[in-house]
Amino acid sequence: MTMETVVLTGAAGRVGSVLREPLRRRLSRLISVDRAPLTVQGPNEEVRQTSLTGIEDVMSVIRGADAVVHLAGVPDEAPLADLLEGNVLGTHHVLEAARRTGTKRVVLASSNRLTGCYPAAQTVSPHLPPRPDGLYGVSKVAVEALGRLYADKFGMEVVCLRIGSLEHEPSEPRHLATWLSPRDCAGFIWSALTRPDITFTAAYAVSANTRRFWELDDQLGYRPQDDAEVYADRIPGATQYFTGDPLQGGVYATADYTLRHALDRQPSDGSFC
C-alpha cells in the first residue's frame, strides 16, 4: 500500500516526537499537528498548530492525505469528562473527518492499559475482553469501539495500536514486559499505515520482550526487533516484581492511582457532587 502524505496528530507528544523523523524518511509529505508549537524538521514536513476541536477543523488539516496517525488526546488517568472530551470525542472527530474527506486509512493510538487488570502471569491477546486498569483505559475501549464502528459501517481501514511503554531504554521492572523501543514503535506504525487488506485490527505494539504480557498480531506483518531483557541487570527489583504476580497495569491498576488522578478532585467552588 503506497503512502505519500500522512497527517500525524499529537506530534509534540512522546510518541509523536519519536515518529516524526522516521516518517519523514519514508514519506513525500508529513503534516505534523499539535496544539503546542512545532518547528519544521525537514523539507518534506509541514507543521500546524491547532487543537482539532471540531470535525471541520480536522477536515481542513487532513484533506488530501493518504492516512492519519491519530495520537492526540489525554495521555494518562484523568477525570472522565476530560478523557471523554480529549480521547473519545477527539477520535470521533478524526474518524468522521476522514470519512467525509475520503481518507481511508486511520491509525489510532490505543493503549496496553485497556487490559491492565489481567494478571501478569496470563498472556493476553487482542481478542480477549477488555479489563481496563482505570478511566484512561476505559476511554481507550471507547476509542477502539469507534474504530470498529467506522470500519464496519463505512468501510474505512482502521488500525488500533495498543502502545506499550515507549522509552529509549526500560527503567523499571514492569518495562521488562511492556517496553516499546523507538525503533519498534516506528516499525509498528509504518506497518499499520501500509499493510494491505486490513479493514479493522487491534494489535499490541510492544518490543519482543522475553517477559512480555501480550501476544503479537501477525496481521500487521511487523516483527519487533528489540528485547528489554538486555537491560534486566540494570533494573533493581526485577526478580521480585515478577514473582509477586502483579496485575499487568502495575501501579496504574491500583485504586489509589485512579483516586488521586481522576476522582479525588473537588469542584473549585468548594461544593460537593
Whole-model pTM: value is: 0.95
**For the segment 185-194, what is each residue's pLDDT rounded down to a tens digit?**
999 999 999 9
Give me the chain's average pLDDT, please.
Answer: 94
Q: Report how far apart the first and last C-alpha atoms of the chain are (Å, whole number).
A: 51
Beta partners for 119?
A: 247
- Exactly one of 118, 136, 150, 222 is catalytic; name it: 136
Angstrom distance (rounded) from CA 180 to CA 215 = 14
Reading the block at residue 260, the C-alpha cell is 488521586
Residues above pLDDT 90, as percent of the chain? 90
| Sequence-ordered list of residues with C-beta below 8 angstroms from that of 223, at least 6 positions apart, any chain | 208, 216
- Any catalytic annotation for residue 136? yes
| Sequence-ordered list of residues with C-beta below 8 angstroms from that of 13, at least 6 positions apart, any chain | 34, 71, 72, 75
pLDDT higher than threshold 90 for residue 265: no
Reference 22, options 45, 38, 1, 48; nearest CA is 45
pLDDT higher than threshold 60 for residue 271: no
Provide the pLDDT confidence category of residue 268 given band limits of 50, 70 and 90: very low
Beta partners for 115?
A: none
Q: Is 238 helix (H, G, I), strand (E, B) or coil?
A: helix
Domains of the chain: 5-263 (3.40.50.720)
Q: Once rounded to an integer, what is the mean pLDDT over residues 215-236?
A: 95
